[in-house]
């Protein structure tokens, strides 16, 4: 059993468990699935600064912070007890492209050429972590949700605004990947 | 405000109204529970974090593959999740399912505003370089990538600046 769990899980297993999160949270206590809201609750709890958008009782949404704490713990436990020693089966075309751009270490979940402490005070670090993180936090809240809140929860409830948001996520990602990232990787 | 069946849902609580702004999850419960009732969400979060790692959703490389259309993996994950989600939500509505505490399940509809386009594009740009949406950010930190703490704090800062500028932005 443990040996099976240690293998990479196929997309339909991962997808089904993520989809099941929608009814699980609804039936546990009427919670609608969404992760980016946790960032807002952290702002409301730590630095509300009198901003109306953060002036609400974040304790009423504390379940969301418990959920994301669980995600962190779950990932920790998995890499320590259920990890698979082999690198991911990346598509050859993606691997070839990234190698041509100087990203050769594909053994970990994140490329060590970008996501390492040595990069923190470089232009690359500034763009990939600081600007990247900022765009994620700003964009998800502006859009009213992220991949979980719109692409999974919203589409599950057949909400067309969530479809608009999901298409926008994809368009933004495609623009970055094809038009901007090639320049960023030369930095 | 109307729910999916076009029934009026009274929003009397101004705090709830505030939390509904640009939000996707608001607590509908009027039950008062001790804090440890929240541990069940933590537990499902643990399962979710495991899925993120084992199905390689938190991999920066998988996100690259997806945006380069070179692998079916992420489309398979998201597609399956949506199919399971749609069926689940339909069943919950059909059978008027109740929560484990006996409350009726209520799902607020999402109202369209232009933020879903502008914000969506902004998030997409960030998603492709960080390789993470907000959920995977937590999982990447848990998986031992300490440097993602910086991405995470920047994401909190991004959310905070959105809150600050919200009234001035087109919606």
Q: Are residues A3 and A52 in the same domain?
A: yes
- Note the pLDDT of residue B28: 58
Compare CB distances from A156 to B74, B86, B162 and report the shortest one's residue: B86
Q: Mean pLDDT lowest for which of A118-122, B80-84, B128-132?
A: A118-122
Cβ contact B50–A77 (<8 Å): yes
CA distances from B36 to A45, A117, B32, B40, B42 (A): 19, 36, 12, 8, 10
Last residue of a domain, one of A44, A61, A83: A83
**Residues B140-169: what's their mean pLDDT?**
96
Task: Classify residue A95: in a domain, yes or no.
Answer: no
Provide the ipTM: 0.95
pLDDT tens profile B9-43: 555 567 777 777 777 566 656 677 888 999 999 99
Q: pLDDT under 70 in chain A at which residues?
A: none
CA distances from A18 to B5, B85, B88, B167 (A): 26, 8, 12, 34
Task: Classify residue A100: in a domain, yes or no.
Answer: no
Q: Are residues A75 and A9 in the same domain?
A: yes
A4 touching B (Cβ < 8 Å):
no
With cut-offs at 50, 70 and 90, classify the pLDDT of residue B1. Answer: very low
Q: Are residues A69 and A143 in the same domain?
A: no
A163 touching B (Cβ < 8 Å):
no
- Note the pLDDT of residue B25: 61
**Residues B61-90: what's their mean pLDDT?**
96
Q: Are residues A179 and A123 in the same domain?
A: yes
Q: Are residues A175 and A119 in the same domain?
A: yes
Instruction: Tell me the β-bridge partners of B8.
Output: B2
Q: Are residues A6 and A59 in the same domain?
A: yes
Task: Classify residue A37: in a domain, yes or no.
Answer: yes
Instruction: Tell me the β-bridge partners of B98.
Output: B104
Domain count for chain A, please give it.
2
Residues 6+ apart with CB under 8 A from B152: A133, B137, B138, B141
Q: What is the DSSP secondary structure assignment for residue A122, as one 8-state letter?
A: S
Q: Are residues A118 and A67 in the same domain?
A: no
Proportion of chain A above pLDDT 90, given as a percent: 83
Task: Classify residue A152: in a domain, yes or no.
Answer: yes
Taking contacts as CB-CB distances below 8 angstroms, the residues of chain A near B72 are: 11
A-proximal residues of B, 132-171, CB under 8 Å: 132-135, 137-148, 150-164, 166, 169
- Note the pLDDT of residue B13: 65
A101 touching B (Cβ < 8 Å):
no
Last residue of a domain, one of A64, A83, A102: A83
Structural domain of residue A74, as residue ranges? 1-83
Task: Classify residue A90: in a domain, yes or no.
Answer: no
- Note the pLDDT of residue B29: 64
Give the predicted TM-score (pTM) of the model. 0.91
Task: Classify residue A107: in a domain, yes or no.
Answer: no
| Residue bearing the bigger pLDDT, B1 or B117 | B117
- Note the pLDDT of residue A88: 86
Task: Classify residue A104: in a domain, yes or no.
Answer: no
Cβ contact A171–B124 (<8 Å): yes
**pLDDT at B47 exceeding the cut of 60:** yes
Last residue of a domain, one of A62, A83, A104: A83
Q: Mean pLDDT lowest for which of A51-55, A118-122, B136-140, B157-161?
A: A118-122
Task: Classify residue A89: in a domain, yes or no.
Answer: no
Cβ contact B55–A184 (<8 Å): no
Q: Are residues A121 and A178 in the same domain?
A: yes
């Amino acid at each position: 059993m443990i040996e099976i769990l240690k293998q990479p899980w196929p997309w339909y297993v991962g997808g089904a468990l993520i989809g099941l999160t929608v009814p699980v949270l609804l039936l546990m206590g009427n919670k609608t699935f969404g992760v980016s809201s946790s960032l807002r609750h952290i702002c409301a709890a730590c630095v509300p600064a009198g901003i109306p958008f953060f002036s609400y009782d974040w304790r009423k949404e504390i379940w969301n912070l418990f959920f994301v704490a669980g995600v962190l713990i779950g990932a920790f436990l998995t890499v320590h007890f259920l990890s698979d020693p082999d690198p991911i089966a990346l598509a050859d075309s993606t691997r070839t492209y990234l190698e041509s751009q100087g990203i050769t270490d594909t053994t970990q979940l994140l490329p060590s050429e970008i996501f390492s402490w040595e990069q923190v005070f470089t232009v690359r670090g500034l763009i990939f972590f600081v600007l990247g993180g900022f765009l994620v936090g700003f964009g998800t809240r502006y859009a009213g949700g992220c991949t979980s809140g719109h692409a999974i929860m919203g589409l599950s409830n057949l909400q067309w605004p969530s479809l608009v948001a999901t298409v926008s996520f994809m368009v933004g990602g495609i623009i970055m990947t094809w038009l901007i990232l090639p320049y960023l990787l030369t930095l | 405000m109307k729910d999916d069946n076009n029934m009026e849902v009274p929003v009397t609580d101004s705090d709830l109204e505030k939390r509904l702004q640009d939000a996707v999850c608001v607590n509908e419960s009027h039950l008062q529970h001790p804090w440890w009732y929240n541990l069940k969400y933590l537990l499902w979060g643990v399962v979710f974090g495991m899925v993120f790692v084992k199905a390689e959703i938190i991999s920066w490389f998988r996100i690259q593959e997806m945006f380069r259309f070179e692998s079916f993996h992420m489309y398979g994950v998201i597609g399956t999740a949506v199919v399971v989600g749609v069926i689940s939500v339909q069943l919950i509505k059909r059978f008027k399912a109740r929560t484990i505490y006996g409350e009726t399940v209520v799902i607020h509809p999402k109202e369209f505003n232009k933020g879903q386009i502008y914000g969506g594009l902004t998030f997409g740009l960030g998603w492709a370089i960080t390789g993470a949406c907000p959920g995977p950010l937590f999982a990447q930190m848990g998986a031992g990538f300490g440097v993602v703490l910086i991405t995470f704090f920047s994401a909190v800062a991004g959310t905070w600046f959105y809150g600050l500028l919200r009234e001035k932005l087109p919606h």
